[in-house]
A = this chain, B = another copy of it.
């Protein structure tokens, strides 16, 4: 994981390039070039520089999981036994495909995860069968997301 690089300085053209591609990763480079008034080759050079800096970490197609029947998203705070090492717990959580995010956090919990399930029953199975069966996990607290109202990236 790359760390902060405070030498990173984006000018207006870099920002326009990034904003276009963050909105639609398949925007043609030449279209961006026409938009900002420089050549396609120059955009390429800038993109290479941005990649080398680590700012760009790739591009992804976004899919809407609801269409596949995944309608239940939940956050789960996990308490670990003192004996259980956090990295070992994470290793086990990685094996559960429904776990999409996993954080070490300050506060009550040792670990905080986001899961995506088809429905409440599926969520219950993931909790009872997959998560609770990891030895070292003593207790969990679940928050179901009834509705996600904001979902965006940082502003450039």
Q: A97-B155, A144-B106 are in contact. Are A2 and B64 (CB under 8 A)?
A: yes
> Chain A contact residues (Cβ within 8 angstroms of B): what range?
35 or more
Looking at A15-23, A36-44, A126-134, the stretch in contact with chain B turns out to be A15-23
Within 8 A of B (CB), among A55-71: 55-71
CB neighbours of A155 from chain B (8 A): 97
A107 interfacial contact with B, CB 8 Å: yes
Number of copies of this protein chain within its complex: 2
Contact of A106 among B23, B143, B153 (CB under 8 A): B143
- A67 and B154 alpha carbons, distance in the complex (Å): 12
Within 8 A of B (CB), among A84-117: 90, 93-94, 97, 99-107, 109, 112-113, 116
A45 → B minimal CB distance (Å): 17
A134 → B minimal CB distance (Å): 14
A75 engages B149 (CB within 8 Å): no
A60 engages B63 (CB within 8 Å): no
Q: A1-B66, A4-B66, A57-B62 are in contact. Are A100 and B146 (CB under 8 A)?
A: no
What are 18 inter-chain pairs, A to B, with CB distance below 8 A?
Answer: A1-B66, A3-B66, A5-B67, A8-B68, A18-B61, A22-B63, A25-B60, A26-B59, A55-B63, A59-B62, A68-B154, A73-B103, A75-B105, A75-B112, A97-B154, A101-B148, A105-B146, A116-B154
